Structure 1
Amino acid sequence: MLVLVTLLTGACWFSNSAWANSPDRLSRILQQKSLRVCIWPDYYSITFRNPRTGQLNGFDIDMAQQFAKDLGVELTFVNSSFAALMDNLVGDQCDIAMHGVAITEARLEKLSFSEPYLKSDFYAVTTKSHPTVTQWDDIDKPDVVVGIMGGTVMEPVMRKALRQAQIELIYAPKTREQELEAGRIDVFITDYPYSRKVLDNADWAALLGPSKPFFITNYAYAIAKVKTPGDQRWLNRINQFLLATKNDGRLLAIARRYKLERIAVSDKK
């Protein structure tokens, strides 16, 4: 037992020492000429893989390409999800998450965020023919089943907000649209970008918005929690990139390309 403890202690010391003496993340990215970006490939207009062509497109796909170009490095996309987000970043599976990550208190415990670049309220999607859910105020009623994608910011917020409706968590490979069209849920909660997917592709869908702001959410780029000066240097470089794209017009131009200009945070400084 004593030998085992000694070996484990030595292994931990070596790991920490090696980390302390290694270049910080930004230096490693530049030296290795490689940027690993976590994305959720089902996020329409943000980071979406076209099921017919297999090609990635969306606001943050284009922004990631611009960031890699500014850094002068190669870009690698790493498939992730909101449920796996924190584990992927903390586990060093990627250098940054660029897929419309909402800033929440729970995520701030393990992650650090850039300045916001998008902001959106919550929206609801139901069917045009639904007999009882025709406006936002119809959602929190008995016998209404509300679909929410597990791991998204909508989950904790709607758990607190809904008093009578039943919540049904949905995880891939299931989709909210499939569950709604099949009649297993009455409505689902989403944000502005994802609502565009439904409206662009389903003529049976109806969009319901709150009559007043419900939960305005800021979206930012995420990295593992800042703990060292090197981590802060990496976060500063990300914010430098965002500021540059706001000032030179790239951010707003990309937002317009994907019909997201109404939620873009493109104020210049």
Structure 2
Amino acid sequence: MAFRAPIRGDAMSNERIKMMIKPGAVALLLLAGSASAQSHLDRVMQSKTLTVCTTGDYKPYTYLRPDGGYEGIDISLAQSLAKTLGAEVKWVATTWKTLTADFTGKQCDIALGGVSVTLKRQQTAWFASPLDSDGKIPLVRCADKNKYRTIKQLNKPAVRLIEPAGGTNEAFAHAFLPQAKLTLFHDNVTIFQQLVDKKADVMITDASEALYQQKRYPQLCAINAEKPLQYGEKAWMLPRDDISWKMYVDQWLHLGQANGEYQQIVGQWLATKG
């Protein structure tokens, strides 16, 4: 039988077929890749260990006690999550400056402890559903509460800012308060005493932390907690591209919020806004 060259219609049909097959093949390859990579969900259930990165220096979310144990809102929540998986929590210490690198490098299943959602972090990790909305506000001595309320009042060379190194508080200071005098402090637990002792004037922090700390330091006041200088959300960091793990964590959180467990844990720690 003689070979017949394809007519123009045949050639066009072949091209269309190739174009249709190509995306499908790519999708199958992606699915195959996803299937071959073990989800953190399976790994946690098999190993009976939930590996959690946390700084341990951010009350009321995470705090490393002198006895070596951890406590806080996110600590209790992580223990609750681990229980649903028949697992124990393995804590991995990190810092705000090295949080993202430690999260990916030390193979943590979750990073938590009052972590703010940022696009920078989103580039290398996923986030679970937000735990709460929050925002940056000034924490100041109550005697100065009328002096440090707005960006205009804060962004002056005479204003002494103090922030922990490497987190979103420092980033806010660089972005919005470049004229203020910024000091980076090494200890996020004792930093508030610097305000009390008048070694600094203002700490920009999340409203939730400011409200919590003003109850422990009567000399300090959280400014405009209901109208933050910058909107923010808190959520747990999760490994990127692991949809099974994210869906499980999100579902667990949803059920905890629906049945009141989440609110009960938060209520043990967090100051009521108002």
Q: CA deviation at 1:216?
A: 1.6
Q: Distance in 1 between matches of 2:73 and 2:141?
A: 27
Please report the RMSD computed on the Cα atoms of aligned residues, expressed in angstroms.
Answer: 2.7
Q: Does residue 193 of the first structure (1) align with residue 208 of the second (2)?
A: yes
Normalising by structure 1, we get a TM-score of 0.78
Q: 5 Å matches for 1:22-171?
A: 23-51=38-66, 54-130=68-144, 134-137=147-150, 138-171=153-186
Aligned partner of 1:233 in structure 2 is 244
Q: Distance in 1 between matches of 2:72 and 2:229?
A: 26
Equivalent position amino acid for 1:108 in 2: Q
Q: CA deviation at 1:25?
A: 1.9
- Residues 15-49 of structure 1: CA deviation (Å, up to 9, x unaligned): xxxx9956332211111111011122111111123
Gaps of 5+ in 1: 1-18, 264-269
- Residues 170-194 of structure 1: CA deviation (Å, up to 9, x unaligned): 2337842243344432211111232
> What is the SS of the residue equivalent to 1:101?
coil
> What is the SS of the residue equivalent to 1:223?
strand
CA pair 128-24 structure 1, distance change in 2 beyond 3 A: closer
Equivalent position amino acid for 2:252 in 1: F
Q: CA deviation at 1:63?
A: 0.4
4+ residue runs of structure 1 moved beyond 4 angstroms?
A: 19-22, 260-263
Q: CA deviation at 1:139?
A: 1.9
**Greater CA drift, 216-225 or 187-196:** 187-196
Aligned partner of 1:244 in structure 2 is 255
Aligned partner of 1:221 in structure 2 is 236
CA pair 180-35 structure 1, distance change in 2 beyond 3 A: same
CA pair 81-193 structure 1, distance change in 2 beyond 3 A: farther
Q: Distance in 2 between matches of 1:134 and 1:174?
A: 25
Q: Does residue 258 of the first structure (1) align with residue 269 of the second (2)?
A: yes
Contact 1:50 1:56 in 2 (8 A): yes
Larger radius of gyration: 2
Contact 1:146 1:188 in 2 (8 A): yes
Q: CA deviation at 1:204?
A: 2.4
Which of residues 186, 194, 199 is equivalent to 1:184? 199
Gaps of 5+ in 2: 1-33
Q: Does residue 208 of the first structure (1) align with residue 223 of the second (2)?
A: yes
Contact 1:37 1:95 in 2 (8 A): yes
Q: Percent identity?
A: 26
CA pair 212-243 structure 1, distance change in 2 beyond 3 A: closer
CA pair 166-190 structure 1, distance change in 2 beyond 3 A: same
Aligned residues: 239
Q: Distance in 1 between matches of 2:36 and 2:69?
A: 39
